[in-house]
Amino acid sequence: MSEAEIINLIVLTFKSAVPLIFAALGELVVEKSGVLNLGVEGMMLIGAVAGFIGAVTTGSIFVGMLMAMAAAVLVSLIFAVLTLSLLANQVATGLALTIFGIGLSAFIGKPFLGNTIEGLQPWAIPLLSDIPILGPLLFNHDPMLYLAVAAFFGVSWFLYRSRGGLILRSIGESHEAAHALGYPVIRIRYLAVMFGAAMGGLGGAYLSLVLTPQWQEDMTAQRGWIALALVVFATWRPSRVMIGAWLFGALTIVNFYAQSQGVSFSSHLLATLPYFATIIVLVLISWDAAKIRLHAPAALGKPFHASD
Amino acid sequence: MKTGRITKWALGLALAGAVALTAGMAQAQLKIAFVYVTHVGDAGWTYQHHLGRMAMEKALGNKIKVTTVGPVKEGADAERVIRKLAASGNKLIFTTSFGFMNPTLKVAKRYKKVTFVHVSGYKRSKNVSTVFARLYEGRYLTGMVAGMMTKSNVLGYIGAFPIPEVIRGINAFTLGARAVNPKVQVRVIWVSSWFNPGKERQASETLIAQGADVITHHTDSTAAVQAAQARKKFAIGYHSDMSKYGKTAHLTAATHIWGSYYTKVAKAVLAGGWKAGDTWGGLKDGMVALAPFGPSVPAKVQAMVKKRQAEIRAGTFHPFQGPVKDQSGKVVVPAGKTMADGPMLGMKYYVEGVVGKLPKK
């Protein structure tokens, strides 16, 4: 394997991790606030189609990204109203959101099937991108990839270094206690769901604006579910979300690389690996019950009403 | 009072007459239904069936009335849909995906007067025919194009699942490429999905990263063509003419053409003379065709490919004509012989020139 080949494969791995990073970091914040939104796949698809429509009609990828976020937030509000205001079951509503997102995105995307766009080009960071090896590896990517890394720092800082993050986490641990302290539980959960949706939308948009770039029905191909698994795999830690996303991304690329080199293993088995790894992690952390309790939000999935 | 009763009678008669009239009209018109597995989109498997349907409508005009249903999931849902179509008076039903095979046969047992055509399956009955295209003929020709256009002598192939249909395509492509350029290697990546643009794109990029400069695919999206266009390499489309996704990259495509077959069946059913059976048609039957050559393909290459195409049409050349060797060098078709349909339908090995082992499952 030549040096250029290795760099190429690592860059491909980074790229395939981006949708997972966006969606999983978003879902992480949602779950940290105590809400389980299983609609990630649906929101990603809505983001993918809205982003693509935005980019095609205005010619600007950045408008596309904004539309992706806005559209995903809009559909997530259905989920938020149902589960947070009307206390519907979060699991059922989240699943419904996914099914709704698949159908709706196919419907509104129909006239845009087969359209092509330029796609987001890499931004080489001046000077830094000229460093041998490290330059092409780290400093010659598309803006959305940089944004995903920035989102990681932003989310980590917010959750563990800011007052807002502390409040959000406390709501996720015990909404009664947070409510007793006077924090607006429902309002903060609304904001968390909207943030998660915007991130999921961006994750989907990365597929339709950068990775492919085109709109196709159901093009996320279960990445939303992998993102959900990733949050559990990461035991609700942003840094482990990043490692997990790269690991899952690398699995695909290594699989493809090995195949084209003539090494073959069962591709069905490989497709199950992310889920399998998540189960292994769950088993591992379940040995030490204290460890899960430390990171999993205690109020995850539980509805809250101020009268409780 | 009396006049009231008379008007009622008159109305009743008129209504009955109208019903009889429309029923009569419906009988004269053949009702045809299509079951699609995906949305039509604007390229790919279902899109080609859509084109076939349009060609049939154009040929037969108002003698037929066509309904299409899709996307329909393969499995239990399909049976419900097909049953409903049969119950609502469709006399000819095309089910256009492999997974519709058993549902089609099940419904056909109940509706003996309805003619069914299942695309890509192998189970038939008195009123269920099967049809498929000898796409390997097109694959061989596109392989020739790729073999002459490559500079790196590495060709990339993205496969969905290692089943005989896909393997046959890879082998025909490889044989075509090596017939014009014996140094060619074909590298294969399986993406375990008929349709996953993200993965198809990644697989394309992985192949390009390893030196492939012509890429083709046996999957349903246009991602490979787009990847080649973005990386300034060449691509060969599949199912549909995908030139709009790769203006300079798209060399040609191996495409399915269903129109003439659909028209033939509909005409026969209208005349009451359709006999159920199997059709495996190729270039000569107009069921497989190459998409127009892209601007990058030199006239010399085009001429060579067209000559071979004419030979396949005339039956003087067969893509799997001996000597054909498998990867281990074993001769699977001796010189002077051509492979029969049986072994072609069950093909489970790579020919010489394909890199790597065939995955077991």
Test A219 with B361 for CB contact under 8 angstroms.
Answer: no
Whether B190 and B142 share a structural domain:
yes
Helix axes B197-209, A3-32, angle to 10 degrees: 150
3-state secondary structure of B33: strand
Kindly report, residue by residue over A248-298, the tens digit of the pLDDT.
888 888 888 888 777 766 667 777 777 787 788 778 777 776 766 667 888
Widest Cα–Cα separation across chain A: 65
Place of tokens 């949050």: A231
**The domain at A3-295 falls in which architecture?**
Orthogonal Bundle (1.10)
Q: Give the per-residue pLDDT at A269.
A: 75
* Closest Cβ–Cβ partner in A12, A15, A262 for B357: A262
Of A16, A219, A262, the CB nearest to B356: A262
Statement: residue B336 has pLDDT above 50 = yes
Nearest C-alpha of chain B: how many angstroms from A303?
A: 35
Q: Distance between CA atoms of B57 and B51, rounded to whole angstroms?
A: 10
Please check whether residues B19 and B157 belong to one and the same domain. Answer: no
Residues B234 and B190 in one domain: yes
Q: Which residue has the tokens 């690329």?
A: A253
* Residue A62 CB contacts under 8 Å (≥ 6 apart), including other chains: none
Contact B320, B172 (CB under 8 A): yes
pLDDT number for residue B161: 87
Exposure string for B281-308, b = 16+ CB within 10 A, e = fewer: bbbebebbbbbebbeebeeebbebbeeb
Token pair of B209, please? 């990263």
Total residues belonging to chain B: 361
Strand-pairing partners, residue B118, are B95, B130
Q: Where are the domains of chain A?
A: 3-295
pLDDT, residue B358, reads: 84
- Pick among B47, B50, B185, B206 to test the A interface (most A CBs inside 10 A): B206
Q: Count how many domains chain B has.
A: 2
- Which residue, among A260, A263, A265, would best test binding to B if mutated, counting the most B CBs under 10 Å from its CB? A260
CB contact under 8 A, A106 and B361: no
Instruction: Write out pLDDT tens, residues A141-187.
Output: 899 999 999 999 999 999 999 999 999 999 999 999 999 999 999 99
Of the candidates B190, B193, B198, the beta carbon closest to that of A207 is on B198
Please check whether residues B20 and B119 belong to one and the same domain: yes
Give dist(CA A251, CA B37) in Å, integer: 30
Q: Which residues contact A274 (CB under 8 A, 6 or more apart)?
A: A226, A229, A230, A233, A248, A251
Strand partners, B187: B156
Give me the helices (H) in chain A, please: 3-32, 40-58, 61-80, 90-109, 134-138, 143-161, 163-173, 175-180, 185-206, 223-233, 238-260, 267-287, 289-295
Comparing CB atoms, the residue among B43, B203, B245 nearest residue A256 is B203
User: What's the N-to-C CA distance of chain A in angstroms?
Assistant: 62
B281, B296, B319 — which closes off a domain?
B281
Strand partners, B321: B338
Q: What is the ipTM of this complex?
A: 0.75
B94 and B158 assigned to the same domain? no
CA-based angle B267:B271:B274, to the nearest 5?
70
My answer on whether B74 and B124 are in the same domain is yes
CA–CA dist B187, A2 (Å, integer): 18
Distance separating alpha carbons of residues A175 and A302, to the nearest angstrom = 9
CB atoms within 10 A of CB B158: 29
Distance CA B226, CA A303 (A): 46
Residue B307: CATH number of its domain: 3.40.50.2300
Q: A286 and chain B: CB distance < 8 Å anywhere? A: no
Phi, psi of A149 (to 5 degrees): -65, -40
Q: What is the pLDDT of residues B223-241, one digit of tens each?
A: 999 999 988 999 999 999 9
Residue B233 lies in a domain: yes
Q: Kindly report the average pLDDT of chain B as a whole number.
A: 90
Q: Are B271 and B152 members of one domain?
A: no
d(CA B117, CA B130): 6
B357 within domain boundaries: no
Among B39, B156, B198, select the one facing A212 at the smallest CB separation: B198
Determine the average pLDDT of the residues in B294-313: 96
Instruction: Note the Cα A203 to chain centre separation in Å.
Output: 6
Tell me, yes or no, whether B355 lies in a domain: no
Within a domain: B318: yes
Looking at the fold, whether B78 and B43 belong to one and the same domain comes out as yes
Distance from CA of A284 to the nearest CA of B (A): 30
Q: How do beta strands B115-119 and B92-95 pair?
A: parallel
Are B83 and B43 part of one and the same domain? Answer: yes
User: Does the pLDDT of residue B361 top 70, yes or no?
Assistant: no
Query: Do A212 and B197 form a contact (C-beta atoms < 8 A)?
Result: yes
Which residues numbered 191-230 in A keep a CB inside 8 Å of some CB on B?
Answer: 207, 211-214, 216-221, 223
Place B6 in a pLDDT band, splitting at 50, 70 and 90.
low
**Do B244 and A264 lie within an 8 Å CB cutoff?**
no
Residue of B nearest to A111 (CA): B41
Please report where in the chains the tokens 């154009």 appear, as a residue: B58
**pLDDT, tens only, B241-299:** 999 899 999 999 999 999 999 999 999 999 988 999 999 999 999 999 999 999 999 99
In the stretch 54-113 of chain A, residues with CB closer than 8 A to chain B read 106, 110, 113
Cα end-to-end span (Å), chain B: 80
Question: How many Å lie between the alpha carbon of A193 and the closest alpha carbon of chain B?
Answer: 26
- Give contacts of B359 with chain A, Cβ < 8 Å: 259, 264-267
Identify the H or E element spanning B30: strand B30-35
A115 touches chain B (CB under 8 A): no
Is B164 a member of any domain?
Answer: yes
Interface test with B, best of A16, A45, A113, A256 (most B CBs within 10 A): A256
Over pLDDT 90: what percentage of chain A?
Answer: 58
Q: Residue A81, exposed/middle/buried by CB under 10 A (0-12, 13-18, 19+)? A: middle
Nearest to B252 by CA among B98, B139, B170: B139
Higher-pLDDT residue of B23, A185: A185
Note whether residue B354 is domain-resident.
no
Domain membership of residue B221 (yes or no) is yes
Please give the share of chain A, as a percent, with pLDDT higher than 70.
96
Q: Which residue has the tokens 């990204």?
A: A65
Same domain, yes or no: B126 and B243 = no
Lowest pLDDT segment from A86-95, B16-25, B346-355: B16-25
Does A261 contact B356 at a Cβ distance shorter than 8 Å? yes
**Domain limits at B56?**
2-133+258-281
Q: Give B278-337 as a DSSP string.
A: EEEE-TTTTSEEEPPPPTTS-HHHHHHHHHHHHHHHHTS--TTBSPEEBTTS-EEE-TT-
Token look-up 């489970």 returns B348
How many angstroms separate the CA atoms of A114 and B226, rounded? Answer: 11
Find the residue in A nearest to B43 (Cα). Answer: A114
* Residue B132 contacts residue B98 (beta carbons within 8 Å): no
B74 and B211 both lie in a single domain: no
- Position A46 pLDDT exceeds 90: yes
CA atoms within 13 A on the CB side of A233: 28
- Same domain, yes or no: B267 and B206: no
CB B213 within 8 A of CB B152: yes
* Residue B360 domain-assigned (yes or no): no
